[in-house]
Structure 1
Amino acid sequence: MTKVSMLNLSEAGEVEIRPGKMGANGGTNSQGESFGFTNYYMTRNHEPFIPVVGEFHFSRFSYLGWEEELLKMKAGGVNIVATYIFWNFHEEEEGVFDWSGSRNLRHFIDLCAKLEYPLILRIGPFCHGEVRNGGIPDWVFAKPIEIRSNDPAYLKLARRLYRQIASQMRGSLYQEGGPVVAIQLENEFMHCGAPNDAWGYKTGKFISSGTGGNAHLAELRRIAEESGILPLFFTATAWGGAAVPEEGFLPMLAGYAYTPWIPNQPPSREFIYRDLHAIPAEPVNYDTRDYPVAYCEMAGGMQVSYNARPLVPANSVEAMALVKLASGSNLIGYYMYHGGSNPVGKKGYLNEQFLPKITYDYQSPLGEFGRIGESYDRIRTLSMFLESFGTALAPMTTILPDGQSDLEATDTDSLRWCVRHKDGAGFVFLNNFQDHVDMPDRPFRIELETSRGSVAFPAEGEAILPANMGVVLPFHLDLHGVSLISATAQPLTQVQANGEHVIFFYAHAGLTPEYVVAKSALSQLETEAGQVGEFDDHYVIHPVVGKNNGVAFRTADGKRVRFLMLSREEALQTYRFDLWGQQTVVISDCPVIAQQGQLVCTSPGSSALSVSLFPAPATELRTNTGQPVPFETAGLFQDYKFELASYTPQLTITKPSDKTALLQFAGDWPAHVEDVWLEIDYDGDVAEAFLDGTLLTDHIHYGKTWSIGLKNFYTKLEQATLHLRITPLRKGTVHTFVNQAQVERFEGVEIAVFHRIEAIPHYRVSLAPAARR
């Protein structure tokens, strides 16, 4: 028999909301929009706000694609961008600054301004970010100075760097009408350094973690402000006992579960619920009750190194975000959200030792060439939830059932859950994922006592939480006059259209969805499918899952409200945009973005596309070539299905040896093919791709397909051969002899073989109302 999990919230305390240490920070832009702080959450336009921050390093991606990638991030629910400015990318040679091409910070800032995208700049001087020397140029180490300190000679270099950055960002501060809301000075200061690749004689030599504590950060702040860098607030990476100034700096945390720096890593505690506002996950140098809990580095993946090759499952990215939100985090920042490629320096490669020379894909939601990963869809569902319900969630207090924060990471028997609530309403968070542990499907029944009455999940009997899954379940929410007592489905988003408020939920596989709705204030309930049980003061509704089914309510004061229950598959295909003068929910079987009044669809490998829109556009849609798009109306949605002309890339492959492949492309791509990707499955140790003798990208084998987007090299493909090369994986024994020279003899088997090399077309079409063309 399933154990009933119980929690009494009727007498549970709530967090005291006050200005805190950040209350004096914030500001208003020229449009009257504002950001501010309490001790518990940020505010946007004076309303509680839970930002979703995505890390995207502009200098690790071609500037030709920045706008599209930023729009992908927007479509994914990211509402603040963060980026590093790596000193050695811009001043590799002393006194010679390069702000051109993909190092053009100003162009990136201007694109964020154009897209109305708030921006956090992480300006160093030390950044880490897995670049050479953590971003400190090699020439700095030739000088008799103490880096990361108040050594006057070091501060002089920092001042010159900051003045250069200030000249690039002139007029771009939020209060000036620009996008820059915050600045991070330094990184992990007084906590850790980075490999000293300028040393060059022996591995294991590290740059100093810094000296001077808050006094050094105060000097960097003074220099920044004197240079004209005056953001709404500064941020500081606060984990590991790092230095955190008391005033004007928002402490930021990190969470990683697949960590190359921990050999033979045991299961982490990142998926255990706790009250982070009251008790931090690790010792920190500030009072957590004075600041919102904010994560700037929550693992969006992990970079593969030669010595450590973790494979990060998409489930873990979603589960960590859910657990941190439940535990009181009111800012969710993904590192990385978007991967990229290291630029090649004038004097060599700029990667950190043991990491790939070029690729910084990071297994992130958006990858090195704009690859859309499985985690992109998963965490978008949480971002959409925060967009619609974050204002309600932000002031809610975390309440832990007894023993939750003390669970062992290896515990596979206990139900992991907690509650965030305020005034008797809130959300139950359940998690059934744990890194490095196989979790079972878990029966559960949860009963809550609240100041608004009793709540049970489910209303009767028990439910099943599937393995490796998490879920957010609402209780006692007022949804535009409909009193939702509870639901065993996750809120996703909401729009107002056609005189109705439409709230979208979605059902997890194995978890039977239901709504429990109070009769009070309702004058009518209608459903074309599903079951409705009527009780003295409430209804229990078991809806049919699918976008064409819904439950319609009319409140006593005449409001029309509709609940729609999507499947998990449909939810993972759902986006919300402001399109053609209205909020629009899009369900698409291919990735989509909204760009300049168009819905842009990109379909990897399939020339057949399907898009559903609610509400329907006021006029017919046409493609970018002027063709009308046929549609069918089903339920609330208008369904568009169309097929583009199929294209097969002309590719010739020769293999001089098992470890080498030469690829020759012929023919132009048709206009509706946006890109061609190579997908390469191989066995080996490390692989590299060269075009015309230049290293394009590399790949340390970790069990996943190697993918290369080719559009940035399109003009060279017909004139040059693309060379793929594998360094063999050795299984055996290596004998090393050092006499006058180093001699290596290997006994065993070398493995280097290509299993599949395939060119995949990515089709592209944009849709817009006919009247707008």
Structure 2
Amino acid sequence: MTTEVDRSEHIRLSNHFVEIDGIPSIPVSGEIHYSRIPRDQWEERLRLMKAGGITVVATYLIWIHHEETRGNVRFDGNLDVAAFVELCGEIGLDVVLRIGPWCHGEVRNGGFPDWVQASGVGLRTDDPAYLELVRSWFSALGDELAPLCATDGPVIGIQLENELYDQPEHIRTLKHLARKAGLNAPVWTATAWGSAQLPTGEVLPLYGGYGDGFWVDADSPWDPTFRAHYFFSHTWDDPGIGADLRNVAVEETGGSEALIGTVFPPATCEIGGGMATAYHRRPRPSALDIAAVAQTKIGNGSAWQGYYMFAGGTNPAGISGMQESHATGYPNDLPRFDYDFAAPISASGQLNESFAALRSQHAFLRAFGGSLSTMPSTLPDVRPRDVDDTTTLRWALRSDGASGVLFIGWHQPHVPLPPVPGVQFDINLGNDRVTFPTGPIDIPSGTLARWPLRFHIGSERLEWATASLLTLLDQDGNRPTLVLQAEPGIPVQLALTGDASLAVAPESVGSIEHCGNYWTLDSSDCVTLTVNDGSADILILPAARAADAWVLESDTGRELVLSAEPIWTDADGLVARSSDRPAVERYVPAQRTLVFVAFSAHSDAAPFMTEAVVTPLTQAPPPPTEYGSVSGRSSAPDDQAPASTYLLEFPPDARRPDDGVNLVLTLQWEGDVGRLAVDGTVIADRFWDGSEWTVLLSDIPADAMLTVEIVPLSPESPIHLPADADRRRRQALHPLDGISGATLTRSVIWREAHATTTD
């Protein structure tokens, strides 16, 4: 791959790292399903992904979405995959096509159309009758995508099948069929977890890591396969992913993991960007949960960070629903429409807190991935004894022997970690040792750190720092600015080489204490430090502002922007979406200060937020404890289950459609199952997990009647809920059923206002 048959000058693989345009790099891929997102939302989601540090878009091509009826293959509207891939290329994002033909993705039949599922052929095998069906599907895809799979096209990778464990020759056959259909890529991939047996040298093995999952039983404790992802290790396989559907015996040989470092670099495609909710089990990972797993993979030596999902979506309605369910033979009931996945970008296009937490890591990888990718991962001599160890600090080092990055991951859900007192590191680098910080410190629970060791800033060298690497700005070409992020509860200390000097820039407010060759910073705001009277700068972001930091690519290079609003860039500069005038600051290295960016509204529509009037129309009777079960897992109530109905009414003109306007409904509610109906037709649904429910209403007629149906939740229901929602359920004296708030947010596009000059 990438060198002979599928030669590429853009992407190449070594056994340890990935090269992009001839430079060692760490790609970051994010999953988004075009067929689950309105077409008019594609560009904004993709630009947000790029602004969040995603460099590669991964997407399933879900067969049942395209050919629900045999012979009627559709590529119109939301199904126009060629237009989607072209748009990715225009925005500057590479693409990995996950062509299946079986993909799972919580879709009915794993993505097979019903007529394929019922065909009687040997599915997912080299049965000639099955291969004939696949040949027809791949041919249809080739007609759409072959020009985009050329050497200089945006498609850099193709995944074959998904979670297929014991048929390496079938994967080889699928690769041949894809090539024959004109589907080519420099990198071919396959999922390798579960000790999968893959055809050696034919596909890049990809791994994953979820900190929790819907696929275990409701009464199961936090599974060790989930817990392991909060520990640094050099084990990439995960026997837990897909275990609920695995029905074949796989030899415990380590699968393709043995190829890492000898043939292929360690790569992932399914680090949990969130988690779906099944009816019986509804995990809700926090931003810190998600970021901790991702950072652990980087510390483990990741050469390719891949997330599932990065942008949530909504299932097409289809003839009878497209989701995985008990009715279609799966062990899990999932919502008919909802595939939000608690992803960094929600199904409604809103940003969850995990977006900022991951964005910080991606900015780091973009700036330092070239050097980091060539640094092997090493683990300390003293490591946690097992997944129950909550006292031994979890950390790892990536280093080339001369410099490195120390990673700390001191967070996990469900089982709290206490602060670790008296921590000081003694690291062997080259021919001597680096001991830091200057004295023992306490590591608070929730710390995710990436501390530099002997890092160069232009001609200067930072010996170490107790603040995390974020990015390197070098816009003016002569005075680089290293940007570090302070950690909550940890003093910022920095050490420089020899007799180098460090001072607070006159433009900054803060104080710095000097002792020997190290300095301790005292400031609650952004501070610029000058090295040796200006040969380089170090900008320190306080922990309180870290979530607002965006590192964007512009015509002048990388720029640092602070914004609580969603922002991205296009050819004309900064773009923001907001329900109010955005407050955005850009760091100007030449001035060593932050300046506010002027914005103008892109449309005449006025942004605002307004509360709905919620009127109860019907009241459901007390619900049963359970609506049935399959293999001990509770089944979701069907459409005939009694539900309370609530009418939502908004002020006149609040829902008037306008170009560039997004209307998002936010519901604070409680119950078991919620369904949003437009003129009596359900268009969205949700299983309650204690969180808000947001729905994009931009395409809904302004005069349509909006109602919410809520199936009440029995306090004795045997489903698994997040801890806070579970407390509400168990403390309730009556079934949970109600809406406590409904808000309509009207947001518009704002564009950077550039100064104009006249003669």
TM-score range, shorter chain: 0.7 to 0.9
- The reply to whether residue 252 of structure 1 matches residue 206 of structure 2 is yes
Separation of aligned partners in 2, 1:436 and 1:523: 45
Name structure 1 gaps, 5 residues minimum.
1-20, 191-210, 618-632, 735-747
Separation of aligned partners in 2, 1:363 and 1:585: 27
Are residues 695 and 416 of structure 1, via their aligned partners in 2, closer, same or farther at CA, if it must alter by over 3 Å? Answer: same
The one-letter amino acid paired with 1:76 is G
- The reply to whether residue 710 of structure 1 matches residue 694 of structure 2 is no
Per the alignment, residue 729 of structure 1 pairs with 713
CA drift of 1:464 comes to 2.5
Separation of aligned partners in 2, 1:546 and 1:670: 43
CA drift of 1:599 comes to 1.1
CA contact (8 A) 2:674 2:708 kept: yes
Separation of aligned partners in 1, 2:49 and 2:744: 26
Are residues 732 and 479 of structure 1, via their aligned partners in 2, closer, same or farther at CA, if it must alter by over 3 Å? Answer: closer
Per the alignment, residue 234 of structure 2 pairs with 275
Separation of aligned partners in 2, 1:667 and 1:70: 30
Separation of aligned partners in 2, 1:236 and 1:222: 14
Separation of aligned partners in 1, 2:717 and 2:541: 55
The one-character-per-residue Cα deviations of 1:213-260 (angstroms, maximum 9, x if unpaired) are 111111111111111112102101000022311113110001112122
CA contact (8 A) 1:409 1:434 kept: no
Q: For residue 134 of structure 1, give the secondary structure of its aligned residue in structure 2.
A: helix
The one-letter amino acid paired with 2:519 is I
Per the alignment, residue 671 of structure 2 pairs with 684
The one-letter amino acid paired with 2:387 is A
Separation of aligned partners in 1, 2:645 and 2:754: 49
Separation of aligned partners in 1, 2:505 and 2:221: 51
Q: For residue 236 of structure 1, give the secondary structure of its aligned residue in structure 2.
A: strand
CA contact (8 A) 2:95 2:154 kept: yes
Separation of aligned partners in 2, 1:385 and 1:173: 30
CA drift of 1:165 comes to 0.7
The one-letter amino acid paired with 2:194 is G
CA contact (8 A) 1:545 1:566 kept: no
The one-character-per-residue Cα deviations of 1:262-297 (angstroms, maximum 9, x if unpaired) are 231325111111124899999532222321111100
The equivalences for 1:106-117 within 5 A come to 106-117=82-93
CA drift of 1:113 comes to 1.6
Are residues 222 and 647 of structure 1, via their aligned partners in 2, closer, same or farther at CA, if it must alter by over 3 Å? Answer: closer
Separation of aligned partners in 2, 1:396 and 1:145: 48
The one-letter amino acid paired with 1:579 is S
The one-letter amino acid paired with 1:370 is G
The one-character-per-residue Cα deviations of 1:686-738 (angstroms, maximum 9, x if unpaired) are 0000112322210100111111121132xx0x22101101001123599xxxx
- The reply to whether residue 637 of structure 1 matches residue 594 of structure 2 is yes
Separation of aligned partners in 2, 1:733 and 1:530: 57
Separation of aligned partners in 2, 1:531 and 1:320: 34
Separation of aligned partners in 2, 1:279 and 1:185: 19
CA drift of 1:614 comes to 2.4
Separation of aligned partners in 1, 2:428 and 2:589: 42
- The reply to whether residue 481 of structure 1 matches residue 459 of structure 2 is yes
Are residues 578 and 751 of structure 1, via their aligned partners in 2, closer, same or farther at CA, if it must alter by over 3 Å? Answer: closer
Separation of aligned partners in 2, 1:688 and 1:677: 16
Are residues 600 and 338 of structure 1, via their aligned partners in 2, closer, same or farther at CA, if it must alter by over 3 Å? Answer: same
Are residues 156 and 164 of structure 1, via their aligned partners in 2, closer, same or farther at CA, if it must alter by over 3 Å? Answer: same
The equivalences for 1:586-735 within 5 A come to 586-603=561-578, 607-615=580-588, 635-640=592-597, 647-649=608-610, 651-658=612-619, 659-665=644-650, 666-667=652-653, 669=656, 674-713=661-700, 716=701, 718-731=702-715
CA drift of 1:387 comes to 0.4
CA contact (8 A) 2:447 2:488 kept: no
CA drift of 1:585 comes to 1.4
Separation of aligned partners in 1, 2:99 and 2:608: 44
The one-letter amino acid paired with 2:747 is H
Separation of aligned partners in 2, 1:654 and 1:431: 47
Per the alignment, residue 246 of structure 2 pairs with none
Q: For residue 172 of structure 1, give the secondary structure of its aligned residue in structure 2.
A: helix
Are residues 524 and 651 of structure 1, via their aligned partners in 2, closer, same or farther at CA, if it must alter by over 3 Å? Answer: closer
- The reply to whether residue 328 of structure 1 matches residue 301 of structure 2 is yes
CA contact (8 A) 2:24 2:373 kept: yes
Which is worse superposed, 587-596 or 330-339? 587-596
CA drift of 1:753 comes to 1.6
Are residues 154 and 507 of structure 1, via their aligned partners in 2, closer, same or farther at CA, if it must alter by over 3 Å? Answer: same
The equivalences for 1:176-575 within 5 A come to 177-190=152-165, 213-263=167-217, 264-266=220-222, 268-276=227-235, 284-286=254-256, 287=258, 288-289=260-261, 290-345=263-318, 347-353=319-325, 354-404=333-383, 407-443=385-421, 444-451=423-430, 453-458=432-437, 460-498=438-476, 499-519=478-498, 522=500, 527-528=505-506, 529-535=510-516, 539-545=517-523, 548-554=526-532, 560-575=535-550
Are residues 280 and 651 of structure 1, via their aligned partners in 2, closer, same or farther at CA, if it must alter by over 3 Å? Answer: closer
Q: What is the CA RMSD across the aligned residues, in angstroms?
A: 2.7
Q: 1:71 aligns with which of 40, 47, 54?
A: 47
CA drift of 1:103 comes to 0.8
CA contact (8 A) 1:525 1:551 kept: yes
Separation of aligned partners in 1, 2:131 and 2:692: 45
The one-letter amino acid paired with 2:543 is R
Separation of aligned partners in 1, 2:347 and 2:374: 37
Q: 1:97 aligns with which of 47, 60, 73?
A: 73
Q: For residue 334 of structure 2, give the secondary structure of its aligned residue in structure 1.
A: coil
Per the alignment, residue 554 of structure 2 pairs with 579
CA contact (8 A) 2:599 2:750 kept: no
The one-character-per-residue Cα deviations of 1:480-508 (angstroms, maximum 9, x if unpaired) are 11111110000101111344211100101
Per the alignment, residue 639 of structure 2 pairs with none
CA contact (8 A) 1:239 1:284 kept: no
**TM-score, length of structure 1 as denominator length:** 0.84
The one-letter amino acid paired with 1:482 is E
The equivalences for 1:744-759 within 5 A come to 749-759=734-744
CA drift of 1:337 comes to 0.6
Q: For residue 475 of structure 1, give the secondary structure of its aligned residue in structure 2.
A: strand
Separation of aligned partners in 1, 2:164 and 2:374: 31
Separation of aligned partners in 2, 1:772 and 1:306: 60
Are residues 616 and 561 of structure 1, via their aligned partners in 2, closer, same or farther at CA, if it must alter by over 3 Å? Answer: closer
CA drift of 1:578 comes to 3.0
The one-character-per-residue Cα deviations of 1:157-200 (angstroms, maximum 9, x if unpaired) are 1001111111111211251x22000100100012xxxxxxxxxx
The one-character-per-residue Cα deviations of 1:666-700 (angstroms, maximum 9, x if unpaired) are 31559698323222122210000011232221010
Separation of aligned partners in 1, 2:236 and 2:612: 56
CA contact (8 A) 1:276 1:329 kept: no
CA contact (8 A) 1:34 1:46 kept: yes
Are residues 283 and 533 of structure 1, via their aligned partners in 2, closer, same or farther at CA, if it must alter by over 3 Å? Answer: farther
Could you say which structure has the higher strand fraction? 1
Are residues 463 and 22 of structure 1, via their aligned partners in 2, closer, same or farther at CA, if it must alter by over 3 Å? Answer: farther
The one-character-per-residue Cα deviations of 1:497-522 (angstroms, maximum 9, x if unpaired) are 344211100101101111100036x5
What percentage of aligned pairs have identical amino acids?
A: 29
**TM-score, length of structure 2 as denominator length:** 0.85
Are residues 26 and 469 of structure 1, via their aligned partners in 2, closer, same or farther at CA, if it must alter by over 3 Å? Answer: farther
Separation of aligned partners in 1, 2:290 and 2:688: 21
CA contact (8 A) 2:211 2:272 kept: yes
Q: For residue 661 of structure 2, give the secondary structure of its aligned residue in structure 1.
A: strand
Separation of aligned partners in 2, 1:171 and 1:671: 35
Name structure 2 gaps, 5 residues minimum.
241-251, 326-332, 620-643, 719-732
CA contact (8 A) 1:42 1:330 kept: yes
